[in-house]
Homo-oligomer: A and B are copies of this chain.
Amino acid sequence: MVSIARMIVDHHGVLLVTRVSEAQAAAMREAFPEAQVHERAHTVTVERVALPKMDGAVAVVCAGTSDLPVAEEAAVTLEIFGNRVARFFDVGVAGIHRLLAVRDQIEACNAVVVVAGMEGALPSAIAGLVSKPVVAVPTSVGYGASFGGLAALLGMLNSCGSGVTVVNIDNGFGAAYAAATINRQLHAARNGK
């Protein structure tokens, strides 16, 4: 891993590695003194050349501790690509009042990544409250009839909220990439490009 990483850092000045084990993280830290290990996200970044930061923010929303690693993977991915991230990590369908309390802050972002396991209902609720693009990430959190995230995935694909799009189970990176693509276009448009 380290040798490929070195090639990327030498060439691009920036590196993002997701789904990193503790041993791999240690090896990376040894190889790259400037490496940042994001423990909750199981992710390592190296940012020798700082990417230009964009104006608008992307919201990353999840319901709690069990979905946090995937939500953090999305957040770290967004940040390394130059997006500002607004984290809402305690918002769920079973506690609707907390969601209503942050509605306006989410609406103020340019795109929303919603991470949810179990029945995967959070994206529907959010899409019903805000007008921004919602990218949903099902997580493999759960047991029994969650079938490794299948229940959340099907729930999100059948979302009653219009305009919700979905990525693979636990794919925080993919959702962040999609949201970053949207935000980058907006940034360019706002800066007259």
Contact = CB atoms under 8 A, between A and B. Distances in A.
Interface in A87-123: 92-96, 99-100, 110, 117-121
Nearest to A140: B144
How extensive is the interface on chain A, given as a class? 35 or more
Given A162-B177, A164-B178, A170 B156 contact: no
9 contacts: A119-B159, A120-B155, A121-B125, A133-B178, A144-B168, A154-B154, A154-B155, A158-B168, A182-B185
A31 to B, nearest CB: 19
A159 B118 contact: yes
Interface of A: 63, 92-96, 99-100, 110, 117-121, 124-125, 127-129, 131-133, 135, 138, 140, 142-171, 173-175, 177-178, 180-182, 185-186, 189-190
